[in-house]
Chain A
């Protein structure tokens, strides 16, 4: 009896969720998991196999109803899901069976007739909060335009990183056309140094950090081919050291972040074979600690950001088998605190940027079910500034572009409706990554 009641409550919940969801958005979550699952075998077998996988793209383990209704509208799909979940062959008391049948008729009728009611959406969203997408878009555009404010002058040396954060957020929210593409691209090209690397702004010294951001932004606009890929890749290749590690620039600072940058950047430029990948992987593995995590150098403390870089690098290089997934998954899931947010190291406060780094690492090692996703979504939504737009590191702090990007990217990984899916290893929207690797040029 209790079981049957729970099922009825489930039906009502599904009705409300359906009514509240934006009907116009395509089934985003399925595309997201589709590309990720295409990727996940490739993470262990190297990128070369992913090409063959894409050509024989089989529907992944998404609910079976998708297979039958590729052309049907989202409405029909939800209906089929509902009906399939609650077949009338369930052994219930006859009176309950009758009620269930009647309820299904009501649902069919309401799907056909009733449009999303403002009241029900308000009720649900009051509980969880809502993503103020338009406000965030306005905030990012205002940051981009204000070149003379104190904040932008102080951040002048990393403007290229800021461009990547802002523009990727806009792309995930589907508003990349709000910026002037020509303007951005011409400015980026001016940031390129004669060595091939990019600097944070015009006239500054080159560094791999900005080189990756430049390549990523050009990928967003599908203009990677305007670069001299050999020149850029030669700059990066020249920074690999004998032990396989990478320096950030000519001054020699070594960090596993730079290994990730090198591998990711060369992979986008499709020049990964120019470096000694095995040695690079060997160096990253040497930075593995006893708790399963990775530091910035061998023996360095495990840090969620460094872990993301190492796991991402190994994923792109097809060497994820070096990661002890259970041990690392354990360390990562211990990052979730009571409020639902994630921190970067033990005993630290939660921060929205870790909702990206920890989450994407968990997804890459396939342990994301070890954290409570709903609580994390609620935490990120609580960190928004609902009046002026933008997301801060913690609820009620000041906002910035950095955390806005990580908050929105984290929500995308959590399959929040209305957002484009993002690739956890490349940190670019899935359609951009697919365009780079799977379109015949």
Chain B
């Protein structure tokens, strides 16, 4: 054990050393020993945060703990905090965020909502970090999954809460977009949020409203949503005030691409007038894209031309 420790401190991806530790630990399976392994891997990750073997070793240890002991929830919270600390120093660390997403599958609904609240401030300070927004998407999807499984009396209340969370996220995203000009990660997050809201939540509303109380507080009007999005896109693309700053140009391109993407994803059955509005929008969008990024005009033609799959 001592030799492998020394070796790993020198060459953190030395898989054979990690494996020999796993072999020894799997014979004993006591919590203190497993916690020791977590300490060692945390130490290794502190100077080598992208070490795939170290993350994989942590997952193996947590799986062992999950099988034998019941302190899992507390360990998951600590793991989540550890990842956030490491992500602070090593931006968009794929392995670290992947580990955090892996933890989500062990979380209860309360933990998921808690994580959403806790990570919001951090995400607001790291708007160029696509991985942290992906983590939020993972949490929100997990929350939605939970809703699908609880089809009972509480479902409408659950649904209202989920819808509120989604709407809040959209509003918060909009404020960030206006504050931090030209950040691709924010626009990609918005793509996911709007698409999911329009495609999936609308159908759920139909399913839920048949049984429960009046849905006055939860009025998902697709029409007004699209109007709002169109307004946002227009406001972002017309502020090409200063061509010297790349950010404004990037904002224009991203907003136009977002609109284009949305038009491809909205299903046909949502209503004819929406399609009309969008088609009018697409014409503007193509012009916008070609004006702001003329050297990729052939790409915009291809993208406008393709038909999305149903």
Physical interaction between A and B:
yes
Q: Is the CB of B296 within 8 A of A204?
A: no
A295 contact set on B, CB distance < 8 A: 98
Per a CB cutoff under 8 Å, which of A253, A299, A333, A369 touches B59? A253
Question: When A290-B195, A345-B92 are in contact, do A301 and B97 touch as well, CB less than 8 Å?
Answer: yes
Q: In the complex, how many angstroms separate the beta carbon of A260 from the nearest chain B beta carbon?
A: 16
A207 adjacent to B11 (CB under 8 Å) = no
- A44, CB-defined interface residue at 8 Å: no
Task: Tell me the chain B residues, 170-220 only, with Cβ under 8 Å from chain A.
Answer: 183-185, 188, 191-192, 195-196
Kindly state the separation between the CA atoms of A291 and B193 in the bound complex, as whole angstroms: 12
**Contact of B184 with A347 in the complex, beta carbons under 8 Å:** yes
Q: For residue B104, which residues in chain A have a CB less than 8 angstroms away from its CB?
A: 299
- Give the nearest-CB partner of B142 in chain A: A299
The secondary-structure label for the interface of chain B is: helix
**Hey, which chain A residues are within 8 Å of B60, CB to CB?**
251-253
Give Cα distance in the complex from A204 to B92, angstroms: 31
Q: Quick one: given A253-B60, A346-B130, are A299 and B101 in contact (CB under 8 Å)?
A: yes
Question: In the complex, what distance in Å separates the CA atom of A213 from the CA atom of B169?
Answer: 45
Whether the Cβ atoms of B184 and A346 lie closer than 8 Å is: yes
Any A CB within 8 A of the CB of B128: yes
Residues A157 and B19 in contact, CB atoms below 8 Å apart: no
Q: Which residues of chain A from 277 to 335 have a CB within 8 Å of any chain B CB?
A: 290-291, 295-297, 299-301, 303, 324, 326-327, 330, 333-334
Q: Scan B76-116; emit 1 where CB is below 8 A from any A CB, else 0.
A: 00000000000000001010011001101100000000000
Q: Which residue of A lies closest to B192 (CB)?
A: A290
> Within the assembled complex, what's the spacing in Å between the Cα atoms of A163 and B113?
48
Q: Tally chain B residues at the interface, Cβ within 8 Å.
A: 46
CB-defined contacts of A303 to chain B, threshold 8 Å:
94
Is the beta-carbon distance between B92 and A370 smaller than 8 angstroms? no
In the complex, how many angstroms separate the beta carbon of B48 from the nearest chain A beta carbon? 12
Query: Does A440 reach chain B (CB closer than 8 Å)?
Result: no
Bound CA span A154–B141, Å: 41
The answer, yes or no, to whether B131 is at the interface (CB within 8 Å) is yes
**Contact mask A368-381 → B, CB, 8 Å, 1/0?**
01111000000000
Shortest Cβ gap from B135 to chain A (Å): 8
Provide the residues of chain B in CB contact with A441, threshold 8 Å: none
Could you tell me if A372 and B101 are in contact, using CB atoms closer than 8 angstroms? Answer: no
What bracket does the count of chain A residues touching chain B fall in?
35 or more
In the complex, chain B residues 109-162 whose Cβ is within 8 Å of any chain A Cβ = 128-131, 134, 138, 141
Q: In the complex, what residues of A have CB within 8 A of residue B302's CB? A: 369-370
**Do A347 and B19 touch across chains, with their CB atoms under 8 A apart?**
no
Residue B16 CB within 8 A of the other chain: yes
Which A-chain residue is minimally distant from B141 (CB atoms)? A299
Given contacts A253-B60, A299-B138, A347-B130, contact A205 B299 (CB under 8 A): no
Name the one of B92, B185, B308 contacting A326, with C-beta atoms under 8 angstroms.
B308
Within 8 A of A (CB), among B58-73: 59-60, 63
B81 shortest CB reach to chain A, Å: 20
Task: Give bound CA distance, A369 to B301, whole Å.
Answer: 12
Within the complex, which residue of B11, B141, B295, B299 is in contact with A157, where a contact is CB–CB below 8 Å?
Answer: B11
Residues of A near B19 (CB, < 8 A) are 205, 249, 251
Q: Which of B208-244 contact A (CB under 8 A)?
A: none
Q: Which of A204, A251, A290 is the one whose CB lies under 8 Å from B22?
A: A251
Give the residue name and chain of the B residue nearest to A207 (CB). B15
A291-B188, A301-B101 in contact; A253/B14 too (CB < 8 A)? no
Interface centre among A251, A253, A327, by most chain B C-beta atoms within 10 angstroms, is A251
Let me know if B92 and A300 touch, CB within 8 A: no
Chain A, residues 337-351, CB within 8 Å of chain B (1/0): the string is: 000000001111000
Contact with B along A239-283 (1 / 0, CB 8 A): 000000000010111000000000000000000000000000000
- Which residue of A249, A300, A345 is within 8 Å of B101 (Cβ)? A300
Q: Are B22 and A347 in contact (CB under 8 A)?
A: no
Q: State how many angstroms separate the Cβ of B96 from the closest Cβ of chain A.
A: 11
A390 CB–B CB distance under 8 Å: no
| Interface 0/1 of A137-162, CB less than 8 Å to B | 00000000000000000101110000
**Does any Cβ of B come within 8 Å of A424's Cβ?**
no
Residues of A within 8 A of B97 (CB): 301
B138: chain A residues within 8 A (beta carbon) = 299
Give which listed residue, A156, A249, A251, A297, contacts B102 with CB less than 8 A: A297
- In the complex the two chains form, is B11's CB within 8 Å of A154's CB? yes
> Is the CB of B46 closer than 8 A to any CB of chain A?
no
CB distance from B197 to the nearest CB of A (A): 13
Query: How many Å lie between the Cα of A68 and that of B11 in the bound state?
Result: 59
CA A297 to CA B138, docked complex, whole Å: 12
| CB closest residue in chain A, given B102 | A297
Q: In the complex, given contacts A299-B101, A324-B309, A347-B92, what are 6 additional A-B residue pairs having Cβ atoms less than 8 angstroms apart? A: A297-B102, A300-B101, A346-B184, A347-B185, A370-B303, A371-B299
A-B pairs with beta carbons under 8 Å apart, 18 shown: A203-B16, A204-B16, A205-B15, A249-B19, A251-B56, A252-B63, A253-B60, A296-B98, A297-B102, A301-B101, A301-B131, A324-B309, A326-B309, A334-B257, A345-B94, A370-B302, A371-B299, A372-B295
Chain A residues with CB under 8 Å of chain B are: 154, 156-158, 199-200, 203-205, 207, 249, 251-253, 290-291, 295-297, 299-301, 303, 324, 326-327, 330, 333-334, 345-348, 369-372
Chain B interface residues (CB < 8 Å from chain A): 10-11, 13-16, 19, 22, 56, 59-60, 63, 92, 94, 97-98, 101-102, 104-105, 128-131, 134, 138, 141, 183-185, 188, 191-192, 195-196, 257, 261, 295-296, 299, 302-303, 306-309
